[in-house]
Amino acid sequence: VIRTAAVVGTGLIGTSAGLALSGRGVCVHLLDVDESAARAAAARGAGTVGRPEAPVDLAVIAVPPGLVARVLEQEQRRGLARSYTDVASVKSGMTSAVLRGAPRPGSFVGGHPMAGSERSGPLAARADLFEDRPWVLTPTPGTCRSALNDVLAAVSLCGAVPVVMEPEAHDRAVALVSHAPHLVASLMAARLRDAPEQTLRLAGRGVKDVIRVAGGDPGLWTDIARANAPAVAAVLELLAKDLLAMTEALHALAGTDTGAGPAEDALATVRETLARGQDGWSAVHGTEGTPPGGKVTLTVPLDARPGELDRLMHSAAESGVHAQDIRLSWSGTSPRLSASLAASLPTAEGVRRRLADGGWQVSAAALT
């Protein structure tokens, strides 16, 4: 159990951890070389400024990645805490540095909360930053079980979901799902830097989302890219190949009016790449609670009166069926539009009853 904690480095992550732990009754001490940052964190309610008089249960080292090993060594010598963790987004190199230099390596568990913002500093901190987010922990064979349990307790108090991984596997994973996407967004954003004003006026939500993370601190991301350089380079290398193939395909298409011959191959390259992209999108989004078990299709006849479909979509949404799970069909023989709703097996009966209560004629329920 964690009753006292110290946050070393009151930036976005450290202050958010302080807010979350303080909110759950932990007595948090805030330390930062920039005392105004620690004071700002305290003013937000993340804890009190200054060193504890006795060792705390857990110290969260939330300094930039390049400083973790040194700060950890210092703080362990001073006896700041019983257990230690960090929040650096690259783990393998740092873990070896820590194991080499720290006086008490067994009391340290590497950590990486998968949460953040394109904004930084204590003012951007939020108590719920880690809520339901994965928080990777990278214990080694030499890690004490009590240290691991202290860190697990803190992760739970922050509302995050602990995920234990090997440091190297973590680094490869974040290269793919975080660092490479960040650099790609930055490269795309960099291309927009000198665009004419009229061109920028046409920028919509699409490109803004693609480049959103590029608004982040270049210094921090340079450190991250550097610390995870081999894994990130491996992803970017494959991406550069794909990009060159796409560029070649577009050159082959330029100026051709029909899809015959070489243009047909080029078109297939573009189409297949986009389809692979859609699969990747589904893979990333599919992890968010695809319900187990089969689906039930509920069919509802409609009169095609204005507003009727919106009313059905509203009822469906209220009973947990999303718009993408609704299909419309219309047959010439019976001149009526009907909507098919796909509901997961455990919820289907509830959906059926709620629609029927709403006056809808739920005409069929077929297992698919």
Binding residues for a copy of itself restricted to 2-61, rule: CB under 8 A: 35-37, 39-40, 42-45, 49
317 near a copy of itself (CB under 8 A): no
Binding residues for a copy of itself restricted to 228-247, rule: CB under 8 A: 229-230, 232-233, 235-240, 242-244, 246-247
DSSP state of 175: I
270 near a copy of itself (CB under 8 A): yes
Sheet bearing 108-113, strands edge to edge: 48-49, 27-31, 4-8, 56-61, 81-86, 108-113, 134-138, 161-164
Binding residues for a copy of itself restricted to 162-181, rule: CB under 8 A: 163, 165, 169, 172-174, 176-178, 180-181
Q: Which is nearer to a copy of itself, 268 or 356 (CB)?
A: 268
State the minimum distance, in angstroms, from the CB of residue 159 to a copy of itself: 15
144 near a copy of itself (CB under 8 A): no
> Which has the closest alpha carbon to 157: 135, 185, 184, 188?
135
Angstrom distance (rounded) from CA 7 to CA 63:
9
Indicate the residue type of 134: P
Q: Which is nearer to a copy of itself, 72 or 165 (CB)?
A: 165
State the minimum distance, in angstroms, from the CB of residue 82 to a copy of itself: 26
Single residue of 54, 198, 334, 359 touching a copy of itself by CB under 8 A = 198
Q: Tokens representing 15?
A: 């202050």
Q: Which is nearer to a copy of itself, 1 or 258 (CB)?
A: 258
Angstrom distance (rounded) from CA 201 to CA 129:
32
324 near a copy of itself (CB under 8 A): yes
DSSP state of 84: E
Within 10 Å of residue 333's Cβ, how many Cβ atoms?
Answer: 5
* Alpha carbon 323 to chain centroid, angstroms: 24
Single residue of 67, 302, 362, 365 touching a copy of itself by CB under 8 A = 302
Interface with a copy of itself (CB under 8 A), residue total: 125
Q: Which is nearer to a copy of itself, 275 or 366 (CB)?
A: 275
Single residue of 188, 317, 345, 364 touching a copy of itself by CB under 8 A = 188
Q: Which is nearer to a copy of itself, 76 or 178 (CB)?
A: 178
- Residues 201-220: x/- map of binding to a copy of itself (CB under 8 A)? xxxx-xxxxxxxxxxx-xx-
Angstrom distance (rounded) from CA 19 to CA 119:
17
190 near a copy of itself (CB under 8 A): yes
Binding residues for a copy of itself restricted to 348-367, rule: CB under 8 A: none
Look at the chain and count its residues: 368
Asked if 151 contacts 61 with a C-beta cutoff of 8 angstroms, the reply is no
Single residue of 271, 291, 345, 364 touching a copy of itself by CB under 8 A = 271
Q: Tokens representing 9?
A: 């480095």
Q: Which is nearer to a copy of itself, 53 or 303 (CB)?
A: 303
70 near a copy of itself (CB under 8 A): no
Angstrom distance (rounded) from CA 368 to CA 358:
25
Give the chain's largest Cα–Cα span.
Answer: 83
Q: Which is nearer to a copy of itself, 176 or 365 (CB)?
A: 176
Q: What angle do CA 115, 118, 120 make, to 5 degrees?
A: 85
* Alpha carbon 227 to chain centroid, angstroms: 20
- Residues 102-131: x/- map of binding to a copy of itself (CB under 8 A)? ------------xxx--x--xxx-------
Q: Tokens representing 24?
A: 């759950």
